[in-house]
Amino acid sequence: MSLRPLRPLRIGLFGRGRLGAAIAAEAGGSLAWQVGRGETPISNADVADVVIDASVAEAVETHLDWALSTGTDLVIGTTGWSIPDLEARVGGRIGLLSASNFSLSVALMARLATVLGRFAALDPARDPYLVEHHHRLKVDAPSGTAKTLAAALMAGCPRKTEWTLGTPAPHQLSLGVVRAGAEFGLHTVGLDAPAEVLELTHRARSRAPFAQGALAAAQWLHGRKGVFTMDDLASDLLDPLFDNVHEGGPPARGARSSSPLVLPRGVSGQSPDTPPSGGRP
């Protein structure tokens, strides 16, 4: 299944930061309104079909309350927040999709990270690790995407049960964080073995992939009710890629995987409940 072409939804936007600016630029004429931190949409503003939250973690709960009170579908692209009773509060009232990263390439990387984890599990000498690098102004560390990839990697390697930013114990996954310069976002998942190293890296060249993914998520979410993650959207596109991979060639058009690579809940989406260190998937 492929994403339907974007029809002109009216998009509301919480946030005027870097991601908010990128989403506004991509949305163009479909942007109904955009408000900054501490602001709320004015009562006579254009009605939005879906609202994207690209603000800060502290504002997410307020924006959720606004979405529930107005019956507006909500896409959350902010990380570092936690609402334990999220599903109960949303129920079937609106559609809500949360993601630590809106890039479909990162969603694919999460699936491949689980495969790398399974490969590491075959030999204790294969030591998995993860490194992420973002610009010096990024507040949360590690990033939500790093937590997502760590969970995916550990899902395939049972001997790794939590991540750490320090020197790892045998059961811990080493996670390295760099905050320097102007890097948009770089994530590397690797395996270090005595005679070889295998690495998989994603580097964002701009914020455009995240903005485009956020708008695609809004399109996918509109009309659905309940709580979703980016993985729910990504599985429509990515699971068929793993069909008959040993035979080579592309999957059949419109094919859905008969044995999709199932990731833990939240692995390609929400990861706000992961603690700041020693995180468990």
Q: What is the pLDDT of residue 215?
A: 95
For residues 42 and 1, give the distance between their C-alpha atoms in angstroms, rounded to a whole number.
38
For the record, the structure tokens of 195 come out as: 């005679």
pLDDT-flagged residues of the chain (< 70): 1-7, 43-45, 246-281
Cα→Cα distances 141→126, 145, 146, 151, Å: 26, 10, 9, 15
Which CATH number do you get for residue 176?
3.30.360.10
Give the pairing of strands 50-53 and 172-179. unpaired
If asked whether residues 83 and 221 sit together in one domain, one would say yes
| Claim to verify: residue 38 and residue 176 sit in the same structural domain | no
Active site residue 187: no
One domain for residues 110 and 189: yes
Whether the upstream peptide bond of residue 142 has omega within 30° of 0, thus cis, is: yes
Q: How far apart are CA 191 and CA 156, in angstroms?
A: 13
Of the residues 63, 133, 135, 138, only one is catalytic, namely 138
* Same-domain status, 131 and 180: yes
In 10 A of CB 109, how many CB atoms?
Answer: 24
Task: Specify whether 177 is located in the same domain as 41.
Answer: no
The verdict on 132 and 197 lying in the same domain is yes
Domain extent for 231: 11-102+207-242
Same domain, 91 and 111: no
151, containing H or E segment: helix 144-156
The pLDDT of residue 6 is 46
Q: Which amino acid is at 250?
A: P
Rounded-to-integer distance, Cα 143 and Cα 84, Å: 20
Q: Residue 32 gets which letter from DSSP?
A: E
The three-state DSSP-derived secondary structure of 199-259 is EEEEECCCCHHHHHHHHHHHHHHCCCCEEEEHHHHHHHHHHHHHCCHHHCCCCCCCCCCCC
Element (H, E) at 178: strand 172-179
Nearest-angstrom CA–CA distance, 155 and 123: 16
Catalytic site residue from 134, 147, 160, 187: 134
**The domain spanning residue 96 has which CATH number?**
3.40.50.720
Domain count, the chain: 2
Sign of CA dihedral 228, 230, 235, 237: positive
pLDDT of 39: 84
Res 251: pLDDT: 56
d(CA 189, CA 174): 10
Catalytic residue status for 135: no
Q: What is the pLDDT of residue 238?
A: 86
